[in-house]
A and B are shown apart, each in its own frame.
Chain A
């Protein structure tokens, strides 16, 4: 069961890396978060811990519903083109993603040893999700896609934390959720401002400060 969900998560991350337009990227993020929710929920069912139910519920409310909705609304409101400002085209991005997957596998086996295949696999996928988040932040040049890249990295870390150390302590988890939500709100606020002042959200063209 968990293997299937993890594979789906991997596939959705690939979809995000090769996405060409903003709505596709947001949809990818929503599905990815849905997979995370499924994993946590299954874990909660197995371990019967009320805290895990709360965490998975929060995941569903914040990352599957609220944040993608806010991002969607932002695109509709600021009415810029939906292009992502690709620095690297989708085919090349796919190659990069493959390389990242292999690298994360090597890193995971270094950390954990090859004795526990499922754990190593999860570790590798978690690192891959973090890497692809960085990739999205660096090679997609709009402010919105940078926010999504950050969220993807955070998703990867959530997966990492829940696999390697059985999750963070409960209140830390809640605080981090709160933190992520607040940061999306604040970054969204700045996206509106950038759009108002510059009439675009292409961060590559923000170059007034130099030296």
Chain B
């Protein structure tokens, strides 16, 4: 069974990290492990496309198309982060920023973090879903505060407190969902697979209130504005591969949780309610983040705000609700994860070469780090939605869906904010990529592992961008099935 490989390998790797003495060896074993996970998740995806859904382990695990898509995204990013980690952690150890022992701790927590993320889409029980998401917060807090500086500990504290409070609201919402379920006279259960088929019999008023708590709660974790305040701090202070995982995957798992409850709401006949709330929060996120991107001075914070923007786009896409929009939003989950990981890896290399986050002090990246510089340059165009890269396809799908739905205001908002963000990206990155090197900087050697990670992600970006144009019928067919459970 593929799912047991996916959940088992990270645990085994975490145990391995305790015993393997050399951190370099740890990193290489990690790579092979996550390659196996990636293969398993591709197999799982194929199985589910043909079988519909899979239950395993006494109904404890329930997988449908939605979970398969998210597991696929997670495994891609985890594999890329595992490759990138080898060189990045090696460099930190060589420069005496961290000790060899701490590097092993890094691999331990990295694997535990991946395990907790993989748990989220696999859980059938909504209570266990909550526990899995809370676990991701608790474990990744160590990775945010990893460097033990004043800034990183502050970021970790804010992260753990704000997300825990947010997620307590989500638990409140979950309890209210189960209240609605037990009120309708059915047997006591928190299993999603029991709740979704009877959604039309549940009390709509309670469901509506519960969904607000869910949206605020998991929305905090997803980084939807105005609950996003932890996000720029945590993303900017975390270790670079972890920033990629946080932004690429962790935010998406929270979106996944919202969708799980959203499906129950949709099935109870409240599609408009779900749509309005998702679009509202998405639009707020878009507007706030596009303003803040323009005025950023810190490289990694800039990327963090861009994550908020993309989460806003995804949430609008799911809110619009037509098959085209859902296909676009699901693709955007994948595309944003891949592209943003590329950018965070690039930012990690830049920051470790210049020892600064401040963009005013970084100049001439292309001269100092040619490979990273070019990767970041292409990444900027990919991230701001240029054809032939993949984000262009998903964004255009969502915008077309907005026009065909008649939501002209939303379509206009999307176009306006996207162009503003494009302008600020070109402005900021134009300054740091080109120009003269500051005095005293020398050409750096880039580790092979980070080059491989860039190549892997970049091939994915281009491939999805080009192939998907010819596969749009399959995509729409999948999207129609996606929210049916």
Chain A residues proximal to chain B, CB less than 8 Å: 111, 130, 133-134, 137, 143, 146, 150, 153-154, 157, 160-161, 164-166, 168-169, 171-172, 175-176, 178-179, 182-183, 186-187, 190, 193-194, 197-198, 203, 206, 208-209, 211
Contact = CB atoms under 8 A, between A and B. Distances in A.
B35 interface: no
Lowest 3 A-B CB distances belong to which pairs?
A: A172-B127, A164-B179, A165-B178
B295 A179 contact: no
Interface of B: 125, 127-128, 130-131, 134-135, 138, 141-142, 145, 148-151, 153-158, 160-161, 164-165, 168, 171-172, 175-176, 178-179, 181-182, 188-190, 206, 209, 232-233, 236-237, 292, 295-298, 301
A143 B301 CA distance: 25
Contacts of A169: 125, 127, 188-190
A126 B156 CA distance: 30
Q: Name A's interface SS.
A: helix
A134 B213 CA distance: 14
A150 B168 contact: yes
Contact of A179 (B134, B151, B175, B178): B134
Contact of B236 (A176, A178, A209): A209
Nearest to B129: A172
Nearest to B125: A172
Nearest to B301: A211
A197 B153 contact: yes
B330 to A, nearest CB: 29
B154 A208 contact: yes
A153 B157 contact: no
Contacts, number: 116
B206 A175 contact: no
A111 B134 CA distance: 27
Nearest to A167: B188
B113 to A, nearest CB: 13
Contacts of B236: 209
A124 B263 CA distance: 29
B165 A153 contact: yes
B154 A206 contact: yes
B135 A190 contact: no
Contact of A194 (B131, B157, B206, B232): B157
A176 B127 contact: yes
Contacts of B158: 206, 209
Contacts of B209: 111
Nearest to A189: B142
A190 B148 contact: no
B48 to A, nearest CB: 25
Given A153-B165, A211-B301, A168 B127 contact: yes
A153 B141 CA distance: 21
22 contacts: A154-B168, A157-B172, A160-B172, A165-B178, A168-B127, A168-B190, A172-B128, A175-B127, A175-B128, A176-B130, A176-B131, A182-B138, A183-B160, A186-B160, A190-B156, A194-B157, A208-B150, A209-B232, A209-B233, A209-B237, A211-B232, A211-B301
A190 B179 contact: no
Contacts of A165: 175, 178-179, 181-182, 188
A143 B157 contact: yes
A166 B185 CA distance: 13
Contacts of A134: 165
Contact of A150 (B164, B182, B232): B164
A55 to B, nearest CB: 14
A33 B131 CA distance: 21
A12 to B, nearest CB: 20
A211 B190 CA distance: 41
Contacts of A143: 157
Which of B138, B155, B233 has the largest number of chain A CB atoms within 10 A?
B138
Given A165-B181, A187-B160, A193-B148, 12 more contacts: A150-B168, A168-B127, A172-B131, A172-B190, A182-B138, A186-B138, A190-B153, A190-B160, A193-B153, A203-B157, A208-B154, A209-B236
B295 A211 contact: yes
B135 A179 contact: yes
Contacts of A111: 206, 209
Which of A111, A154, A209 has the largest number of chain B CB atoms within 10 A?
A209
Which of A160, A168, A198 has the largest number of chain B CB atoms within 10 A?
A168
Contacts of B128: 171-172, 175
Nearest to A182: B138
A49 to B, nearest CB: 12
A211 B171 CA distance: 30
B182 A206 contact: no
A186 B298 CA distance: 28
B480 to A, nearest CB: 32
Nearest to B156: A190
Contacts of B179: 164-165
Contact of B165 (A137, A160, A197, A209): A137
Contacts of A186: 138, 141-142, 160
Contacts of A146: 161
B157 A206 contact: yes
B187 to A, nearest CB: 11
Given A165-B178, A166-B182, A175-B131, A198 B190 contact: no
